[in-house]
């Protein structure tokens, strides 16, 4: 990998900014003042981020085909689904992280890694500007720039505070390993301080009031872990504090886990209530102060001031500054995440791809495809289809939009299914006929209810894998000098070389504490209870990125079963 280090003369990059660039036979994208050297002739790929999306892309990419560089302020991968377990000491932080260099080496990849934060993407010049965020960086040499031919943006997201006052100052977040460690330490501090002799009951109760804001999967799992830690382990060590502990879960929606099947959501609410976790649904948080949170119960308008010893904020995802800035450049400033097409290409920005939490596919409306398919199927153009033709059309729609099944089967889609039934009428000639206009109306409703893909590790990992395969094929085609036409798009004239990305939903877990979990499977299946918790253990053990972390995680779980959670604090 021939690399030239130089100082950019270009004013746009700033004097003194270190520019790193490698060979490129196409100089048209380079910033002024930067020339290229002869070299490998390989296209330069820069991957921003070492999370689920970035990692999956790297693991599946044939790195001999490109000059690949990875930039991330984190030189390790975190298995985020086990972060709540770190807060309670069920697993050790070390057990869920894998150094990125180890992953790269074990895969025999030809990849360079730079531990730095990308602070700007210059889409016009195809350059990313990065900053060394380490404490040991040499003075005056904090920033450098990298050129790319292809950029994969996989920087994830931040926690969304919705601009609520006091959240950044007083709340814990649960996004990173250090967040989980800080929460763990804070829980222990609350118990130790509450045990001091000079405090009265009110002080103790305030210190041992734990508040979780956000009733989504992360908030619920954290509340469950906290409950288990306190009632299974800590209260054995601090029995005198038994009557002073209170856990409150504050949720703005009408139910917790409201993206899950209703049966899971109800079960979780009942279980929490039974176990003494105060579930406050339908509440709007007004602000957080040092030691108290203010919220309003929407139904009654009642204002509540709840004192806390520790508060965790977990209410969905927000945009990273580097992504906001990039979106402003490419005309996407009105969005929360980058808009991509179904091939994960960032809209209005050639050569860039967005995967994971920082991007979402702007889905074409199904009704457009359905209309087109009807046109194809309805040869007589009579405005109606036979049931057989209808089934054929639906089969094509299903293949193209696998999510449609999930949404159709959800409770709230039952009305739409009723509409579909109305659309099918008795025709003449003894066969059933479909009224296309009615059907299109029904499908329009499906369109409006179809949500964008969830921001999960599952989606990010599948997108990374898909994109890597596209890159592998792309390079192979150039190498073999062939340009296959590839599968045809259903609608429109253009042929695409690759099938669009299709998300395969494999279901979602919700650990609920007390060795019980819920699992929502694709379709209308739900599994809840102890056996589901064992399924959770096996799936998450199998999903670990290395045998090292797999062994450590299984060891931690075993240790917990025999000796309880690790509640020691080492400052």
Please identify the residue of the shown chain whose CB is closest to the bound ligand FAD: 51
The set of residues, in sequence order, having a beta carbon less than 8 Å from that of 195 and lying 6+ positions away, is: 238, 240, 241
Contact flag: residue 460 with ligand FAD (CB under 6 A): yes
Contact flag: residue 533 with ligand FAD (CB under 6 A): no
Of 219, 447, 460, 233, the C-alpha closest to 337 is 460
The answer to whether 144 and 33 are in contact (CB under 8 A) is no
Contact flag: residue 84 with ligand FAD (CB under 6 A): yes
The answer to whether 100 and 75 are in contact (CB under 8 A) is yes
The set of residues, in sequence order, having a beta carbon less than 8 Å from that of 470 and lying 6+ positions away, is: 343, 498
Considering the complex, state which of residue 79 and residue 439 has its C-beta at the smaller distance from ligand FAD.
79
Q: Helix 366-377 crosses helix 436-449 at what angle (to 10 degrees)? A: 150
E strands present in 67-164: 67-72, 76-78, 97-99, 111-115, 117-122, 127-131, 143-147, 150-153, 158-159
Considering the complex, state which of residue 31 and residue 54 has its C-beta at the smaller distance from ligand FAD.
54
Contact flag: residue 51 with ligand FAD (CB under 6 A): yes
Restricting to residues 137-156, name those near ligand FAD by CB under 6 A: 154-156
Q: Of residues 30, 60, 63, 72, which one binds ligand FAD by CB under 6 A? A: 72
Contact flag: residue 539 with ligand FAD (CB under 6 A): no
254 to 24, 162, 567: CA distances (angstroms): 55, 18, 34
Restricting to residues 231-270, name those near ligand FAD by CB under 6 A: none
Contact flag: residue 505 with ligand FAD (CB under 6 A): no
Contact flag: residue 456 with ligand FAD (CB under 6 A): yes
Cα 545 from Cα 554, distance rounded (Å): 13
Diameter over CA atoms, the chain: 90
Considering the complex, state which of residue 214 and residue 244 has its C-beta at the smaller distance from ligand FAD.
214
Contact flag: residue 52 with ligand FAD (CB under 6 A): yes
Cα 400 from Cα 454, distance rounded (Å): 18
Question: Which string of b and e fits 221-250 if b means at least 16 CB within 10 Å?
Answer: bbbbbbbbbbbbbbeeebeebeebbbbbbb
Q: Which stretch binds ligand FAD (CB under 6 A): 52-60, 233-241, 411-419, 468-476?
A: 52-60
Q: Bridge-partner residues for 44, per DSSP?
A: 67
- # binding residues, ligand FAD (CB under 6 A): 33
Q: Of residues 67, 357, 447, 520, which one binds ligand FAD by CB under 6 A? A: 357
Considering the complex, state which of residue 329 and residue 438 has its C-beta at the smaller distance from ligand FAD.
329
Restricting to residues 358-377, name those near ligand FAD by CB under 6 A: 358
Considering the complex, state which of residue 81 and residue 215 has its C-beta at the smaller distance from ligand FAD.
81
Shortest Cβ 156–ligand FAD spacing (Å): 3
Q: What SS3 string covers 468-484? A: HHHHHHHHHHHHCCCCC
Considering the complex, state which of residue 43 and residue 172 has its C-beta at the smaller distance from ligand FAD.
172
Contact flag: residue 73 with ligand FAD (CB under 6 A): yes
Contact flag: residue 171 with ligand FAD (CB under 6 A): no
Considering the complex, state which of residue 105 and residue 398 has its C-beta at the smaller distance from ligand FAD.
105
Q: Which stretch binds ligand FAD (CB under 6 A): 234-242, 276-284, 354-362, 444-452?
A: 354-362
Cα 466 from Cα 167, distance rounded (Å): 37
Considering the complex, state which of residue 51 and residue 309 has its C-beta at the smaller distance from ligand FAD.
51
Q: How far is C-alpha 476 from the geometric centre of its chain's CA atoms? A: 30
Considering the complex, state which of residue 49 and residue 215 has its C-beta at the smaller distance from ligand FAD.
49
Cα 19 from Cα 12, distance rounded (Å): 12
Shortest Cβ 492–ligand FAD spacing (Å): 29
Q: Of residues 19, 61, 71, 226, which one binds ligand FAD by CB under 6 A? A: 71
Q: How many CA atoms lie within 13 A of 329 on its CB side?
A: 16
Considering the complex, state which of residue 175 and residue 445 has its C-beta at the smaller distance from ligand FAD.
175
Contact flag: residue 174 with ligand FAD (CB under 6 A): yes
Q: How many CA atoms lie within 13 A of 562 on its CB side?
A: 5
Shortest Cβ 436–ligand FAD spacing (Å): 38
Contact flag: residue 85 with ligand FAD (CB under 6 A): no
Shortest Cβ 471–ligand FAD spacing (Å): 17
Considering the complex, state which of residue 117 and residue 269 has its C-beta at the smaller distance from ligand FAD.
117
Considering the complex, state which of residue 314 and residue 567 has its C-beta at the smaller distance from ligand FAD.
314
Shortest Cβ 323–ligand FAD spacing (Å): 8
The answer to whether 565 and 227 are in contact (CB under 8 A) is no
Considering the complex, state which of residue 225 and residue 233 has its C-beta at the smaller distance from ligand FAD.
225
Considering the complex, state which of residue 143 and residue 244 has its C-beta at the smaller distance from ligand FAD.
143
Cα 265 from Cα 271, distance rounded (Å): 10
Provide the 8-state DSSP code for 239. Answer: G
Of 251, 284, 256, 252, the C-alpha closest to 269 is 256
Q: Of residues 29, 101, 175, 440, which one binds ligand FAD by CB under 6 A? A: 175
Shortest Cβ 559–ligand FAD spacing (Å): 21
Shortest Cβ 322–ligand FAD spacing (Å): 4
**Kind of pairing between the strands at 3-7 and 18-22:** antiparallel
Shortest Cβ 385–ligand FAD spacing (Å): 39
Cα 36 from Cα 23, distance rounded (Å): 6
Q: Of residues 8, 46, 48, 288, which one binds ligand FAD by CB under 6 A? A: 48
Cα 338 from Cα 336, distance rounded (Å): 7
Restricting to residues 293-332, name those near ligand FAD by CB under 6 A: 320, 322
Q: Of residues 42, 74, 126, 172, which one binds ligand FAD by CB under 6 A? A: 74
The answer to whether 63 and 111 are in contact (CB under 8 A) is yes
Of 290, 277, 309, 305, the C-alpha closest to 204 is 309
Contact flag: residue 455 with ligand FAD (CB under 6 A): yes
State the residues that interact with ligand FAD by CB under 6 A: 48-54, 71-74, 80-81, 83-84, 117-118, 154-156, 174-175, 218, 320, 322, 356-358, 455-458, 460
């Amino acid at each position: 990998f021939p690399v030239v280090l130089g100082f950019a003369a270009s004013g746009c990059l700033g004097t003194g900014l270190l520019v790193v660039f490698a060979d490129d036979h196409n100089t048209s994208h380079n910033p002024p003042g930067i020339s290229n050297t002869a070299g490998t002739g390989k296209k330069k790929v820069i991957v921003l981020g070492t999370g689920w999306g970035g990692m999956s892309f790297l693991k599946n990419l044939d790195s001999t085909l490109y000059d690949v560089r990875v930039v991330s302020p984190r030189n390790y991968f975190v298995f985020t689904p086990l972060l709540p377990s770190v807060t309670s000491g069920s697993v050790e932080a070390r057990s869920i992280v894998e150094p990125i260099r180890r992953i790269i080496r074990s895969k025999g990849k030809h990849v360079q890694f730079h531990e730095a934060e990308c602070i700007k993407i210059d889409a016009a010049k195809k350059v990313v500007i990065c900053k060394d965020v380490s404490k040991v960086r040499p003075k005056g040499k904090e920033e450098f720039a990298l050129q790319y031919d292809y950029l994969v943006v996989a920087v994830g997201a931040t926690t969304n505070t919705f601009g609520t006052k006091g959240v950044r100052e007083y709340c814990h977040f649960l996004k990173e390993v250090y967040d989980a460690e800080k929460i763990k330490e804070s829980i222990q501090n609350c118990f130790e301080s509450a045990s001091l002799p000079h405090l009265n009951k009110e002080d103790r109760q305030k210190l041992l009031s734990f508040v979780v804001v956000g009733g989504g999967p992360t908030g619920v799992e954290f509340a469950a872990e906290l409950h288990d830690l306190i009632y299974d382990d800590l209260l054995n060590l601090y029995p005198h504090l038994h009557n002073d502990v209170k856990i409150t879960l504050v949720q703005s929606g009408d139910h917790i886990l409201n993206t899950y099947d209703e049966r899971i959501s109800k079960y979780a609410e009942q279980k929490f209530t039974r176990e003494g976790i105060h579930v406050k649904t339908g509440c709007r948080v007004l602000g957080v102060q040092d030691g108290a949170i203010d919220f309003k119960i929407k139904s009654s308008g009642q204002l509540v001031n709840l004192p806390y010893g520790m508060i965790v904020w977990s209410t969905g995802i927000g945009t990273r500054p580097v992504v906001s800035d990039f979106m402003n450049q490419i005309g996407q400033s009105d969005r929360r995440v980058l808009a991509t097409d179904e091939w994960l290409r960032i809209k209005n920005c050639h050569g860039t791809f967005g995967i994971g939490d920082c991007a979402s596919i702007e889905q074409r409306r199904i009704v457009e495809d359905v209309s087109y398919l009807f046109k194809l199927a309805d040869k007589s153009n009579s405005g109606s289809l036979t049931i057989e033709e209808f089934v054929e059309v639906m089969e094509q729609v299903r293949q193209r939009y696998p999510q449609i099944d999930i949404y159709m089967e959800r409770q709230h889609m039952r009305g739409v299914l009723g509409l579909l039934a109305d659309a099918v009428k008795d025709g003449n000639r003894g066969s059933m006929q479909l009224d296309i206009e009615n059907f299109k109306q029904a499908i329009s409703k499906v369109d409006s209810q179809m949500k964008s893909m969830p921001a999960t590790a599952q989606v990010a990992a599948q997108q990374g894998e898909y994109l890597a395969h596209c890159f592998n094929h792309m390079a192979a085609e150039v190498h073999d000098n062939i340009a296959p036409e590839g599968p045809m798009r259903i609608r429109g004239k253009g042929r695409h070389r690759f099938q669009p990305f299709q998300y395969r939903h494999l279901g979602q877990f919700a650990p609920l504490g007390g060795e019980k979990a819920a699992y929502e499977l694709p379709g209308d299946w739900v599994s809840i209870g102890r056996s589901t918790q064992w399924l959770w253990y096996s799936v998450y053990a199998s999903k670990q990125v290395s045998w090292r972390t797999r062994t450590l995680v299984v060891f931690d779980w075993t240790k917990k079963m025999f000796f309880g959670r690790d509640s020691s604090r080492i400052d």
